[in-house]
Structure 1
Amino acid sequence: MHTVLVLIHAASGTTGLLLALPILLAPKRRGRHTLLGRVYAVAAAGLSLSALGLFALDPARLWGLAILGVLTLGWLLGGLWFARRRPRGLGGRGWRVWHLNLMGSTVIAFVTGFAVQLTDGNLVAWLAPTAIGSVLIARRTARELARAPRRIVVGAAG
Structure 2
Amino acid sequence: MHTVLVLIHAVSGTIGLLLALPVLLAPKRRGRHTLLGRVYAGAAVGLSLSAFGLFAFDPARLWGLALLGALTLGWLVGGLWFARRRPRGLGGRGWRIWHLNLMGSTVIAFVTGFAVQMTDGNPVAWLAPTVIGSVLIARRTAREVTRGPRRVVVEAG
Q: What TM-score do you get using the length of structure 1 for normalisation?
A: 0.94
Q: Does residue 127 of structure 1 match 2:127?
A: yes
For this pair of structures, how many residues does the alignment match? 151
Q: Corresponding residue for 1:75?
A: 75
Q: Does residue 35 of structure 1 match 2:32?
A: no
CA distance in 2, matches of 1:147, 1:16: 29
Q: Does residue 19 of structure 1 match 2:14?
A: no
Q: Percent identity?
A: 89
Uncovered stretches (5+) of structure 2, i.e. residues with no partner: 151-157
Uncovered stretches (5+) of structure 1, i.e. residues with no partner: 151-158
Q: What TM-score do you get using the length of structure 2 for normalisation?
A: 0.94
Q: CA RMSD in A?
A: 1.2
SS in 1 for 2:60: coil
Shift of 1:149: 2.8
Structure 1 residue runs of 4 or more that deviate by more than 2 Å after TM superposition: none
Aligned pairs for 1:44-123 (under 5 A) are 44-123=44-123
CA distance in 1, matches of 2:13, 2:41: 11
Shift of 1:57: 1.1
Q: Corresponding residue for 2:153?
A: none
Q: Corresponding residue for 2:3?
A: 3
Residue identity in the other structure for 1:83: A
